[in-house]
Chain A
């Protein structure tokens, strides 16, 4: 099973600041990685798929990069609605697995 490790666990930032979230895979997963955003009481929302492709309707301030075992989600500047928990997920190998999440909170 591919283990995804996200860091940091919590990111405390102010609106307008940029954010960089990391996801490391226990083995190479090529570019088969997605990012999701989850707000309290809601289901996760697909943001980025295959490392760098934004899903429909996702703001351009969200971008993804990486390959192999190291991946990054970048938020160019934080809007109030971006404070949430972010998860990475791989589809390279069964079972599909998720990281444990990074909480982006208001500083």
Chain B
């Protein structure tokens, strides 16, 4: 299971920080990812991190996004700087399916509003 946590309301220019806690299994040998969904832009892949720490980001967000992992806590985190109203969305964490670019297990999502 995956569970997102973090603030639900933010002000413009702040840094968004979300954590995904993984339970019921190990993070080892898997890729972990963040995806967001907004009425305006639909579903948008943000980036992923391998359990060892290597990352890949969506180029549209690359200058503002960082994903980190802490396998000792079974958690990975999303940091998004300089948020604006356009970053208002439901943020999901998920696990990649068999190491390929599909999303198998998802968290329930967390609504983040920037206002």
Spell out A's residues near B (CB within 8 Å): 32, 34, 36, 42-46, 49-50, 55, 87, 89, 91, 94-101
Contacts and interface: CB of A to CB of B under 8 A. Distances in A.
A43 B59 contact: no
Contacts of A87: 42-43
Interface residues of B, number: 20
Contacts of A101: 42
Interface of B: 42-45, 56, 58-60, 92, 94, 97, 100-104, 106-109
A interface majority secondary structure = loop
B100 A43 contact: no
Contacts of B60: 95
Contacts of A94: 56, 58-59
Contacts of B42: 87, 98-101
B58 A95 contact: yes
A91 B102 contact: yes
B57 to A, nearest CB: 8
Contacts of B104: 46, 55
A89 B58 CA distance: 14
A23 B45 CA distance: 18
